[in-house]
Amino acid sequence: MTAIEIRGLEKIYTVGFLRKKPRQALFPLHLSIEDGEIFGFLGPNGAGKTTTLKLLMGLVFPTSGTARILGREWTDPEIKAQIGFLPEQPYFYDYLTAHELLDYYGQLSGVPAKQRKQRIEEVLVHVGLTDVKGVQLRKFSKGMLQRAGIAQAILHDPKVIFFDEPMSGLDPVGRREVRDLMEQLKQEGKTVFFSTHILSDAEALCDRVAIIYKGELRGVGAVADLTSTVQGKVDLVWQGTQVPASIKALGAECHVTGETVRAVIQENQQDAAIDALRRERLRLISLTPVRTSLEQYFVEKTQKADSTAGAAV
Amino acid sequence: MKARIGYIAANTFREAVRDRVLYNLIAFALLLSGAAILVGQISIDIERLVVVNLGLTAVSLFGIVIAIFIGIGLVSKEIEKRTLYTVLSRPVRRWEFIIGKFFGLAGTLVVNTFFMAIGVFAALLYVTHKFSVSDAFILVALYFIVLEFLIICSLALLFSSFSSPLLSAVFAFSLFVIGSFADDLRGFATLTHGLTRWIATAAAYLVPNFSTLNVISAVAHQQSIGAQLIVQNTLYALFYTAVALSGAVLIFERRNLK
């Protein structure tokens, strides 16, 4: 089943006071996100990620296009009871404590009073915000605010969760925890749509990704497919400090790091290389095909767009 | 629907309390006790007049300052700080948000006025040593002041829904000043001719008529207030508030939250 279906959502802002000019923030966007997927929405700053999320949340109105979430029109207020949203760099009512904030949001989302108290405790533990009872949000660090933001997004047990740059402001441990949380949400059957410009996060988490650049969709697909372009080379790693002459003769690019050596060779020469290591009594650690990383794919898609634009000029 | 409006109103009230808005009561109490002591010593037979005049005017001014300065930030601050994003991404309609904010601020002002009213009556008892029947009309004057607050709150919300806090403050305060002379403006309109008359009359009826809501002087002079004026002012204030709030909702429903 399709959880989110975006059909031609487009946003044109008008800028300037006297001489008004149109500025295309988002070109018509078509996307389908399946139920239970973790979907990464990738793009550099200013690419149109936040605009897309704001359109889906009904915070800005589209110039054209529609969307459906869980089979219903995205403008239907009732569908929002099944949606969670974490805005980029969230800022909350800083005179409230985390418990009060979540209680307020629980009320607005229609969580019954009896369940609310227990649910608040659960999500606070879930996001690692313990020992904050009685502490106003104005005393929270950036990372703690981000955690409170995640807590409010999942408080009402939504089926679809939108995260805008969820790892922003978090330290490496916090980022890892958020990644684990997203994995857990997926296991619970939730659909997670998250925007990021940190490609390693997307690569580690997402079933599929879309790349957006200058308001335009540049590519979409499963991470495994986008990164599966085998370049006809293999990556060979063995224990040692020297490169045998027989491997050098294969024309390998070799790098010695401490007690390991890494060599990139042509795929059709891998048997010869392994034989050479056996002869030299060197211990093979790994042999993996060289794949295009998500980063390479991303750079290729965005640079291609720039060069096309440059050529057009 | 009603519940969501109530939750938003309660949160707005809590924000005002936590932002120490009710601390103005301390300044009010100091002003009124100082005045009562001073008046008790220097005035002869006009203690009541001075205390009622001063007390009710202070209630009105303190409340108007709060209504304008909180009201102008009710929407714009939520947009600027982006706290609105996590509210409107829930099953909350935009109009519910506006109405909830209005009731939250109105509630704050009613509570504030209640405590100030206690202060006025305490000061009055201090200088006159007993209450008279005509003192009941002070309650009517206080009720009219609350009606005045409702209009100011709705206007501040209206301006806050499309302009910056500074401009909203200027607009709301200007309307308060002009509205306080609404009767004079209507009188002026009758003296003009042609297009000027049309414009002056339209302006006179468009600005809120705060003159009719101001019965402080009459009450201070122990004059009675007729039931007809109470009904008329109630209907006028509710109508004006409803129109201003509808305008705020109409604008906010179409606004892109960039």
Per residue of chain B (258 residues), give pLDDT as tens.
678 999 999 999 999 888 887 777 788 878 877 877 787 677 777 888 888 988 999 999 999 999 998 888 888 888 888 899 999 999 999 999 999 999 999 999 999 999 999 999 998 898 888 888 888 999 999 999 999 999 999 999 999 888 888 999 999 999 999 998 888 888 888 888 888 888 888 888 899 999 999 999 999 898 989 999 999 999 999 999 999 999 999 999 999 887
Taking CA–CA distances from A63, the nearest residue in chain B reads B256
- The amino acid present at A249, given as its one-letter code, is A
Chain A contacts of B4, Cβ < 8 Å?
107-108
Give the strands of the sheet with A64-69, arranged side by side: A21-34, A2-15, A64-69, A72-73
Q: Give the sign of the dihedral formed by CA B83, CA B85, CA B91, CA B96.
A: positive
Give the model confidence (pLDDT) of A146-190 as tens digits. 899 999 999 999 999 999 998 877 888 888 888 888 999 999 999
Residues 6+ apart with CB under 8 A from A198: A167
Which CATH topology does A2-226 take?
Answer: Rossmann fold (3.40.50)
- Residue B100 CB neighbour total at 10 angstroms: 23
What pLDDT is attached to residue A252?
81
What pLDDT is attached to residue B203?
86
In angstroms, what CA-CA distances link A158 with A60, A152, A153? 22, 11, 8
Q: Taking Cα atoms as reference points, which of A100, A107, A85, A98 lies closest to residue A126? A: A98
What pLDDT is attached to residue B24?
79
Taking CA–CA distances from B100, the nearest residue in chain A reads A108
DSSP-derived 3-state class of residue B212: coil
List the single residue in B3, B7, B82 with the smallest CB-CB distance to A91. Answer: B82
More confidently predicted of B246 and A304: B246
Query: Rounded to a whole number, what is the distance in angstroms from the first to the last CA of chain B?
Result: 26
Q: Where are the domains of chain B?
A: 2-253
Residues 6+ apart with CB under 8 A from A2: A32, A33, A34, A35, A68, A71
Q: Taking Cα atoms as reference points, which of A190, A143, A132 lies closest to residue A167? A: A143
Mark yes or no for CB contact A81/B18 under 8 Å.
no
Global confidence as pTM:
0.85
More confidently predicted of A230 and A14: A14
Whether B88 contacts B257, CB under 8 Å: yes
Chain B, window 188-247: residues with a beta carbon less than 8 angstroms from a chain A beta carbon: none
- Count of residues in chain B: 258
Give the model confidence (pLDDT) of A120-152 as tens digits. 999 999 888 888 888 999 999 888 898 999 999
Task: Delimit the CATH 3.40.50.300 region(s) of chain A.
Answer: 2-226
More confidently predicted of B147 and A235: B147
Cα–Cα distance, A51 to A68 (Å, whole number): 17
Residues 6+ apart with CB under 8 A from A258: none
Determine the angle formed by the axes of helices B94-128 and B2-18, rounding to 10 degrees. 50
What pLDDT is attached to residue A309?
53
Q: Taking Cα atoms as reference points, which of A168, A164, A219, A163 lies closest to residue A191? A: A163
DSSP-derived 3-state class of residue A91: coil
Mark yes or no for CB contact A78/B83 under 8 Å.
no
- Residue A141 CB neighbour total at 10 angstroms: 10
Give the strands of the sheet with A253-257, arranged side by side: A253-257, A260-266, A233-239, A284-289
Cα–Cα distance, B40 to B124 (Å, whole number): 10
Residue A214: phi and psi, rounded to 5, are 50, 45
Instruction: Inform me whether the pLDDT recorded for A311 exceeds 60.
Output: no
What residues form DSSP beta bridges with A254?
A: A263
List the single residue in B14, B83, B89 with the smallest CB-CB distance to A80. Answer: B89
* The pair of three-digit structure tokens given for residue B3, joined into one six-digit string: 């519940």
What pLDDT is attached to residue B47?
81
Query: Rounded to a whole number, what is the distance in angstroms from the first to the last CA of chain A?
Result: 43
Whether B134 contacts B224, CB under 8 Å: yes
Cα–Cα distance, B171 to A205 (Å, whole number): 51
Mark yes or no for CB contact B86/A13 under 8 Å.
no
Mark yes or no for CB contact A59/B257 under 8 Å.
yes
Count of pairs with CB atoms under 8 A, one residue in A, one in B = 74
- Residue A130 CB neighbour total at 10 angstroms: 9
Whether B225 contacts B215, CB under 8 Å: yes
Cα–Cα distance, A203 to A133 (Å, whole number): 36
Q: Give the sign of the dihedral formed by CA B194, CA B196, CA B199, CA B204.
A: negative
ipTM above 0.90, yes or no: no
Average pLDDT for residues A23-33, to the nearest whole number? 94
What pLDDT is attached to residue B151?
96
Q: Taking Cα atoms as reference points, which of B179, B156, B154, B177 lies closest to residue B168? A: B156
Q: Taking Cα atoms as reference points, which of A126, A117, A116 lies closest to residue A161? A: A126
Q: May I ask the CATH architecture of the domain A233-289?
A: 2-Layer Sandwich (3.30)
What pLDDT is attached to residue A118?
93
In angstroms, what CA-CA distances link B1 with A35, A180, B84? 30, 36, 18
Chain B touched by A48 (CB under 8 Å): no
Instruction: Inform me whether the pLDDT recorded for A236 exceeds 60.
Output: yes
Mark yes or no for CB contact B91/A110 under 8 Å.
yes
- Residue B95 CB neighbour total at 10 angstroms: 17
Q: What band does A312 get if pLDDT is binned at 50, 70 and 90?
A: very low
Helical ranges in chain A per DSSP H: 49-57, 98-108, 113-126, 142-154, 172-187, 199-205, 223-226, 245-248, 270-279, 294-312
Q: What band does A230 get if pLDDT is binned at 50, 70 and 90?
A: low
Whether B5 contacts B100, CB under 8 Å: yes
**Cα B101 versus chain centre, distance:** 15
The continuous run of DSSP H or E covering B68 comes out as helix B47-71
Mutate to test the interface with A, among B1, B14, B86, B88 (most CBs of A within 10 A): B86
The continuous run of DSSP H or E covering B140 comes out as helix B136-160
In angstroms, what CA-CA distances link A263 with A229, A234, A249? 19, 8, 12
Write the DSSP string, A22-36: EEEEEEEEEEEEETT
Task: Delimit the CATH 3.30.70 region(s) of chain A.
Answer: 233-289
In angstroms, what CA-CA distances link B135 with A60, B29, B225, B231? 53, 20, 11, 20
Mark yes or no for CB contact B88/A57 under 8 Å.
yes
Q: What band does A233 get if pLDDT is binned at 50, 70 and 90?
A: confident
